Amino acid sequence: MMPIKVVIVGAGIVGSSIARVLSMYEDFDVTLVEKEPDVGWGSSKANTAIIHPGHEEEPDVHPLRARLCREGNILWRQWTRELSIPVKWPGELMVFFNEEEEKNAKKYIELAKLNKIPGVRVVYRNELLQMDPSINPSALGAIYAPTAGTISSFEAVIAIVENAVENGVKLLTEAEVRGVKVVDKKVKGVETTKGFIEADIVINAAGLYSDKISHMAGIDSGFVVRPRRGEYFLFDENVRVKPEKLLHTTPTPITKGVYAITTIHGNLMIGPTAEDLPMDAKDETSTSEKGLEYVWKESERLLKELPPRTKIIRTFAGLRPEPPGGHWRIEAYDDPWGFVNAAGIRSPGFTAAPAIAYYVLNLIKDKYGVSLVKKKHWNPYRSDIVRVKDKSLQEIDELIRKNPDYGEIICYCKTVSKAEVIEAIERMKKAGVKTITIDGIKFRTRAGLGMCQGSFCRWRIALLISQYTGVPLYQVVVKKDLYGVGEVKALLKS
Ligand SMILES: Cc1cc2nc3c(=O)[nH]c(=O)nc-3n(C[C@H](O)[C@H](O)[C@H](O)COP(=O)(O)OP(=O)(O)OC[C@H]3O[C@@H](n4cnc5c(N)ncnc54)[C@H](O)[C@@H]3O)c2cc1C
């Protein structure tokens, strides 16, 4: 049997999850095409990283979102175990402060029943403050959803891609899709900046740019994906305020509210805003004074206290790929035959991604009559980088005896050793990442994510990249088009 050639456009959480699921079958020969130098640098990198329970989706309005959010929440429990992805499941509290908010919040109890989300209930002030003492004591109560979790979003994409490649998927980075070739109403392949790639099936998972890819295939020229910006503050690990649950204010028609959470890496994070930007602002990830002030004010309302602003280690923004009416466009087409959209996947897209992947698999099976023969030796597992920070002193001692590079610390904020940086470089090469970037090392090792934001470690990492790839030091990049060590916090302050 000749495998069906599949090109997936976009290595965000949706494209990489689809690649992993297709890699389970003999039927497909999959190429995952990404325009950036690395995977997961679109919406999947900068978001709140909540695995939503599914009680905020209206099944009458968004039935697919409601169903795939619930299924995704369940699947992530298995995927995070198989792929060693950092995750925790503290549950979430939607906090209300007055009767109007209480009335709005209680609507989600009904939605939880409709969506069959377990354990969702109202808690009032006494119980609420016992559940999480960091909440502002003026709160009246909250809707508690115990199945909410939080994940390391960039590490999730990296882990899924590593596993997909291990199971036969080819990753092609720095290849921007510029055209979809259709002959006699059938998909034939994609034109990329790295050349033509033949394909029987093209799956569009290009996030903010999924409208463009859809138009390239001649699908619905009226379909547009609008950037909706969300801004955040991230605080140092070393602050007193550390919410135990995932806290947020009551939702509005366009957002799930402002969150205050302790991230999977132990930092207090507050945000986001929800601001519709012009259509041509799909790379506009700067923050704004107005947006950040809004986040600060909402968080002051939500929390008993906020840390001093000197404890902020960074502000950042992410862009939601917002489709018309908030409707995800997941469809396999007859015309052109072989074109599949997984387009406009706005929130809760991260949560739903594994379920979206199975949904797309079934669409392909039904529409194009694929038999789906499981691979005998498909490997569901992927192990994480060996991290000094997670080890006991005795274990570190053993590691150093075998490899002295574990004893050389490159990032003191996050305790990352030289051996970890080298392992990350080797993993990137193995996955098919062509340009080893400083950001790529940061997202794999966490070096540069701490208080000093890379002031100490960036040039050390640049040296190691140069040494282990043969790229001259002056050509090492932080991220696309940013050479050298870039701006670092110490330099910005001076
Ligand atoms: C502020 C904010 C908060 C959010 N919070 C949550 C949350 O808490 N929980 C949750 O479940 N969801 C959340 N989301 C939504 C979630 O992040 C998205 O639904 C999800 O990341 C979308 O994934 P994606 O793979 O479709 O898009 P992306 O991650 O953007 O991936 C698309 C990829 O396609 C690539 N690409 C684009 N054009 C081309 C081309 N022409 N050729 C090749 N490659 C191309 C891009 O570079 C990118 O890597 C949030 C989003 C934002 C922005």
pLDDT band at 260 (very low <50, low <70, confident <90, very high): very high
pLDDT band at 124 (very low <50, low <70, confident <90, very high): very high
- Ligand 1: atom nearest CA of 272 is 1
Q: Reply yes or no on whether the pLDDT at 490 is more than 90.
A: no
Is ligand 1 within 6 A of the CB of residue 10?
A: yes
- Ligand 1: atom nearest CA of 346 is 19
For residue 334, CA distances in Å to 6, 8, 218, 223, 366 come to 16, 18, 12, 18, 12
Closest CA to 318 of 352, 278, 289, 287: 287
Q: Do residues 219 and 230 share a domain?
A: no
From the CA of 175, how far away is ligand 1's center (Å)?
17
Query: Domain boundary at 364, 384, 404, which?
Result: 384
Residue 250: partners with Cβ closer than 8 Å, 6 or more residues away? 94, 95, 96, 101, 104, 105, 257
pLDDT digits (tens, 9 = 90+) for 339-379: 999 999 999 999 999 999 999 999 999 999 999 999 999 99
Is ligand 1 within 6 A of the CB of residue 73?
A: no
pLDDT at 108: 97
pLDDT band at 487 (very low <50, low <70, confident <90, very high): low
Ligand 1 pocket test: which of 340, 350, 481 has the largest number of ligand atoms within 8 Å of its C-beta?
350
Q: Do residues 252 and 264 share a domain?
A: yes
Bigger pLDDT: 95 or 494? Answer: 95
- Where in the sequence is the domain holding 436, given as residue range(s)? 388-493
Residue 108: partners with Cβ closer than 8 Å, 6 or more residues away? 55, 56, 94, 120, 143, 145
Is ligand 1 within 6 A of the CB of residue 44?
A: yes
Q: Could you give the angle at the alpha carbon of 25 between the alpha carbons of 24 and 28, nearest 5°? A: 115
Q: Which of 317-346 are b and which e, b meaning 16 or more Cβ less than 10 Å from the residue's Cβ?
A: bbbbbbbeebebbbbbbeebbbbbbbbbbb
From the CA of 51, how far away is ligand 1's center (Å)?
14
Q: Do residues 262 and 359 share a domain?
A: no
Q: Which token pair is 142?
A: 């909250």
Q: Do residues 486 and 392 share a domain?
A: yes
Q: Do residues 316 and 378 share a domain?
A: no
**In whole angstroms, what is the distance from residue 263 CA to residue 489 CA?**
21
HSE toward the beta carbon, residue 457, CA cutoff 13 A: 29
DSSP secondary structure, 371-382, as one string: --PBPTT-----
From 52, 62, 265, 377, the catalytic residue: 52
- Ligand 1: atom nearest CA of 213 is 41
| Residue 35 DSSP one-character state | S
pLDDT at 255: 75
**In whole angstroms, what is the distance from residue 12 CA to residue 36 CA?**
10
From the CA of 41, how far away is ligand 1's center (Å)?
8
The pLDDT mean for the chain works out to 95
H helices of 170-260, in order, are 210-216
pTM for the whole structure: 0.97
Can 265 be counted among the known catalytic residues?
no
Q: Reply yes or no on whether the pLDDT at 484 is more than 80.
A: no
pLDDT at 460: 95
**In whole angstroms, what is the distance from residue 459 CA to residue 200 CA?**
44
pLDDT at 493: 40
Is ligand 1 within 6 A of the CB of residue 50?
A: yes
Q: Do residues 13 and 79 share a domain?
A: yes
Query: Domain boundary at 335, 361, 384, which?
Result: 384
From the CA of 319, how far away is ligand 1's center (Å)?
8
Q: Do residues 43 and 170 share a domain?
A: yes
Looking at residues 256-272, what average pLDDT do you find?
Answer: 95
Q: Do residues 137 and 194 share a domain?
A: no
Q: Do residues 431 and 284 share a domain?
A: no
Q: What is the residue with the minimal CA distance to atom 27 of ligand 1?
A: 207
Q: What is the chain's Cα-based Rg?
A: 23
Is ligand 1 within 6 A of the CB of residue 271?
A: no
Other CB atoms within a 10 A radius of the CB of residue 397 amount to 12
H helices of 55-180, in order, are 63-83, 99-115, 125-131, 153-166
Q: How many domains does the chain have?
A: 3
Residue reference for tokens 């508690």: 144
Looking at residues 89-111, what average pLDDT do you find?
Answer: 97
**In whole angstroms, what is the distance from residue 146 CA to residue 53 CA?**
8
What's 207's domain CATH number? 3.50.50.60
Q: What is the residue with the minimal CA distance to atom 26 of ligand 1?
A: 207
Residue reference for tokens 């940086």: 421
pLDDT band at 252 (very low <50, low <70, confident <90, very high): confident
What's 315's domain CATH number? 3.30.9.10
For residue 45, CA distances in Å to 13, 103, 152, 153, 336 come to 9, 34, 9, 6, 32
Looking at residues 301-327, what average pLDDT do you find?
Answer: 96
Looking at residues 418-430, what average pLDDT do you find?
Answer: 98
pLDDT at 81: 98
On whether the CB atoms of residues 50 and 148 are closer than 8 A, the answer is: yes
Query: Domain boundary at 320, 349, 364, which?
Result: 320
pLDDT at 492: 42
Is ligand 1 within 6 A of the CB of residue 346?
A: yes
Residue 443: partners with Cβ closer than 8 Å, 6 or more residues away? 38, 40, 45, 154, 155, 158
Q: What percentage of residues in the chain have a pLDDT greater than 70?
A: 97
Ligand 1 pocket test: which of 14, 18, 43 has the largest number of ligand atoms within 8 Å of its C-beta?
43
Q: Do residues 481 and 347 share a domain?
A: no
pLDDT at 491: 40
Is ligand 1 within 6 A of the CB of residue 214?
A: no
pLDDT digits (tens, 9 = 90+) for 437-447: 999 999 999 99
On whether the CB atoms of residues 417 and 372 are closer than 8 A, the answer is: no
| Residue 24 DSSP one-character state | T
Q: Do residues 395 and 448 share a domain?
A: yes
| Residue 245 DSSP one-character state | S
Q: Do residues 256 and 365 share a domain?
A: no
